[in-house]
Amino acid sequence: MSKIRTGIIGLGIIGSGRLEEYCDFHKENPDDIEVKAICDIDEKKLNELGDKFNIPKENRYTHIGKMLKEADINTVDICLHNNMHAPVAIAAMEAGMDVYGEKPMAGSYADALSMYETMQKTGKKLHVQIWSLYSNDTKAAKRFIDNGDLGRIYHMRSYGFRRRGRPYVDGYGSKEFDNTKTAGGGALFDMGVYHIAQLLFLTGLPELERVSGATYQELEMDEKRRRESDFNVEELGVGFAKFKGGLTMDIIEAWAIHASPFMSSMIAGSKGGITLSPFKYHTFANNLEVNMDADLDSMEFFDHTVYAETNSLHDSSAKHWVNALLGKVELMPSAKIALHTQLLQEGIYLSQKLGREVTAEEIKASSKSLALDIPNL
């Protein structure tokens, strides 16, 4: 692609931040990228941001379908609620545009699969924002794993902790995060995606076989905000997954819980192990138990000086997306990673519903579309 002409759909916290990020890219490299259109149903917000970032009035839209049909764009960035991801992404790809979307990939595995199949059918690019894939912890862990320092990897632990951080009912974020109609799920979809996807990526996307798990909504909350948000998703999700070849993963993801912070996500191997945050490498040496710190700041410095030509292309999800569109780097298979993650997450929900362990085939067969209807898309 010679020049990226992008349109941003949804100008909430994420979308407005992405708009600023793209405009910064444009200032640095005006011949590479330009924001050509923005879209939001809130006309006041649309015009405030349009004025701030010099988006012409004729390129400001309140209707998604109209923007996809009329705007001079070849990519879109979808910053909408989970159950709107699939219909908009599919319409955009079918209209010939490459698509960058937010996590989770969609509000259900069925919808995520439809997005993935549309990507394959149309030949367009589909990228999912999963910031943890670009973190220094992930980069360091991958170097140890690729070098064989862990030996045979046999277990992973996916941990995410908030003491009291449920969207809207705990004072921040919007109520659309809190119900299955718009979000599809709670803590597992919102934050668990980062931790689970990180581990699946580092271990080469192992094939899921079985999942068991449970979800909870037990802590008190403001009743007025509960009613306003129709809060019906999990504040805590736990699970245990089994993969082909014997690899396992245990999962705990909390939006809110009466507990001290959990230990970090980790990976255990026959020769060594990794704690992801703060990063440590664990092994035996000379009959000693070695727990080794690593200077990730130094790694980042070298990645942006001596090895900047290749490593700077993976600084962030958005920067990686831009560089991939410009042909400077192969696009990370984030859509495939997100799809595998969604299958595991939905398996926890199904296990909770059925009260037993479920197979990957059962998860796929039971998954239904939760996509919202968007008129005249």
Domain end position, chosen among 131, 158, 174: 131
> Would you say residue 57 lies in a domain?
yes
Domain that holds residue 191: 133-358
pLDDT tens string 214-268: 999 999 999 999 999 999 999 999 999 999 999 999 999 999 999 999 889 999 9
Say how far apart CA 279 and CA 296 lie, in whole Å: 8
Domain for residue 64, yes or no? yes
Q: Are residues 110 and 170 in the same domain?
A: no
CA 82 – CA 315 distance, rounded (Å): 25
* 371 domain residue, yes or no: no
26-55 pLDDT, tens digit each: 999 999 999 999 999 999 999 999 999 999
Torsion angle of C-alpha atoms 328, 104, 206, 254, degrees rounded to 10? 130
For the ranges 56-70, 257-271, 308-322, 348-362, the lowest mean pLDDT is seen at: 308-322
Do 179 and 281 share a structural domain? yes
> With 90 as the cut, is the pLDDT of residue 180 above it?
yes
Q: Are residue 260 and residue 339 in the same domain, yes or no?
A: yes
pTM strictly above 0.85: yes
Confidence of residue 376 (pLDDT cuts 50, 70, 90): confident
User: Do both 141 and 126 map to the same domain?
Assistant: no
